[in-house]
Amino acid sequence: MPIRTALLSVSDKTGLMRFAAALAKRGVTLLSSGGTAKALSAEGIAVETVESYTGSPEVMGGRVKTLHPRVHGGILAREGTDDQDLAKLGARFIDLVVVNLYPFEKVADNPLAGYEELIENIDIGGPSMVRSAAKNHARVAIVCDPNDYDKVLAEIEKDGEVSPITRRELAAKAFAHTAAYDAAISGVLSGPRAQDPDGTVGASPYPQYLTLPFERAYGLRYGENPHQSGAFYVERG
């Protein structure tokens, strides 16, 4: 699927300017919101704001920015199937989504961060876009790791698109990303820093829910026994 429109909304801007500039040079329309749009504009990279695209401003102090049918319709639309619905929305196909999330774990690691600060650092729009793009990986490429910029850009420059295999791999990585993100939030909200409406905090020093994300590092010669296969996993992060 050719890359015509890309949506960029990132917390970690490592490598983003070079990546975005290369996309723009190829004639890709860049959509962006908030701080990402400002950063791109400051570098002289042409960008259309999400607010302009949707016709809706950010509201509730930025809590609602990208939760809009023109955004998610553009990501989830199936070409050849949903064209009429997309046209009714006044939306366009979004082919590449570049999103990484507010650093909730970094904030949670700060013992001075208050409960309200933790809550405000729970990203809603970001995971929604990541999941929409990952679900529709038959058409859309989702990039949530700056380390993947070079690989994705190389494929776009060579073929004009991201290959189906790479889109599937990126989708799997994206779902792992959002799963780990939700697990971190669940651990905090069920742990000693949880706060009830009356201001009391959690009584237990241990979280009620603990989910640890692991990633396969390499395959093993064999498993527990010579006739079994095996792999070695490391904790992500």
Q: What is the DSSP string of 33-77?
A: -HHHHHHHHHTT---EEHHHHHT---BGGGTBSS-SHHHHHHHHP
In this predicted model, what pLDDT tens digit does every residue of 135-150 receive, in sequence order?
A: 999 999 999 999 999 9
What's the pLDDT score for residue 21? 96
Q: Which residues contact 126 (CB under 8 A, 6 or more apart)?
A: 9, 11, 66, 99, 100, 101, 102
What's the pLDDT score for residue 63? 65
What's the pLDDT score for residue 76? 93
| Token pair belonging to 126 | 């970001």
What's the pLDDT score for residue 226? 83
What's the pLDDT score for residue 236? 75
For the chain, which residues make up each domain, given as ranges? Answer: 5-212
Of the CATH numbers 3.40.50.1380, 3.90.180.10, 2.40.50.140, 3.10.129.10, which one belongs to the domain with range 5-212?
3.40.50.1380
State how far the alpha carbon of 117 is from the alpha carbons of 110, 113, 121, in Å. Answer: 11, 6, 6
In this structure, the dihedral spanned by the alpha carbons of residues 6, 7, 10 and 16, taken in order and rounded to 10 degrees, is 20
Ranges under pLDDT 50 in the chain: none
Q: What is the pTM of this model?
A: 0.85
In this predicted model, what pLDDT tens digit does every residue of 51-84 receive, in sequence order?
A: 888 877 666 666 666 778 889 999 999 888 887 8
What's the pLDDT score for residue 198? 58
